[in-house]
Amino acid sequence: MSEQRKLETILLANKLVSREQLTQIDSYAHAVGIDLCEAVLQKKVAPPEAVMMAYAESLGLPFVHFDDLSIDEAIAAQVDPMTARRCSFVPISIDQGHVLLATTKPVLPDVADELRMIFDLPVRCVICTPAELSAAIVKYFPRDAARVTKIEHSNEPVPVAKEKPKPVEPMNDAEKKDRLLKSFMTFNFTFALIYFASSYLFFPRWVVNSTPLLLLFCVIVSGIAAGIAWKTLSR
């Protein structure tokens, strides 16, 4: 027998709904894409506690009240608040080698696997009412709670925060003079090197024979070299 059929049988046996109500609620659940338990809760045809007790029985899971529980806050602190709110569960304690989770429906397999990696223990769900679960999530996993990151269970490299570049302080007079001297020396050296080596370089003959053109070329190249020196030969 499927879980839904079990729940239908229990709801009818406990007289929480009539057969006519059950037919209408079942049609509503299919129309809006929710399970039967949630549909019964939304229609408010029976007390939420009685509905959740029937749901727990159909799953073969215990039903609990938070007033009867002693929640281990150290266990809860190991769970990421965003995950707890998104998946609607609250870890209660460790019992017989399992982490007990209070929830309104069993957590999905991938969530159970994630929690098993965190605690190195399998998880077991117990069912409670939506109102009690919501109150517990607000208490133990408020929206302003710090996000928990389990680095040891991740194979991805931990991102390293980039340091902000330090602002460059303006040059003093001595640094300006030093940079200017280096740039001037670079200009003169480059000019002399190109001018006196022009006969051995692969310049067009008309450039070598034209002194103004040769000087212009030397000035342009030397100026570029001096500009590079201005930017790179100092701090």
**What single DSSP character describes residue 105?**
S
Phi/psi at 39 (5° precision): -65, -40
What is the biggest distance separating any 2 CA atoms in the chain, rounded to whole angstroms? Answer: 114
Sign of the torsion formed by the C-alpha atoms of 125, 137, 131 and 4: negative
Which of 22, 44, 59 lies at the terminal end of a domain, its last residue? 59
Say if residues 4 and 36 touch (Cβ distance below 8 Å): yes
What the block records as the tokens of 140 is 């133990």
| Contact yes or no for 69/102 (Cβ under 8 A) | yes
**178 and 209 assigned to the same domain:** yes
| Residue 154 forms part of a structural domain | no
Successive 10-residue mean pLDDT values, the chain, 235 residues: 88 94 93 93 94 95 88 88 92 91 93 92 94 92 66 42 52 70 79 69 56 73 76 61
189 and 221: one domain? yes
Q: Please tell me the predicted confidence (pLDDT) of residue 154.
A: 40
Residue 201: the pLDDT is 60
- Identify the domain boundary among 99, 134, 149: 149
Q: Are residues 180 and 211 in the same domain?
A: yes
pLDDT at 180: 77
pLDDT of residue 9: 94
107 and 145 in a single domain? The answer is yes
- Domain boundary pick from 42, 59, 76: 59
Same domain, 45 and 74: no
Domain count, the chain: 3
Let me know whether 186 and 212 are in one domain: yes
pLDDT score of 165: 53
Confidence at residue 23, expressed as pLDDT on a 0 to 100 scale: 94
Has residue 104 been placed in a domain? yes
The domain in which residue 82 lies consists of 66-149
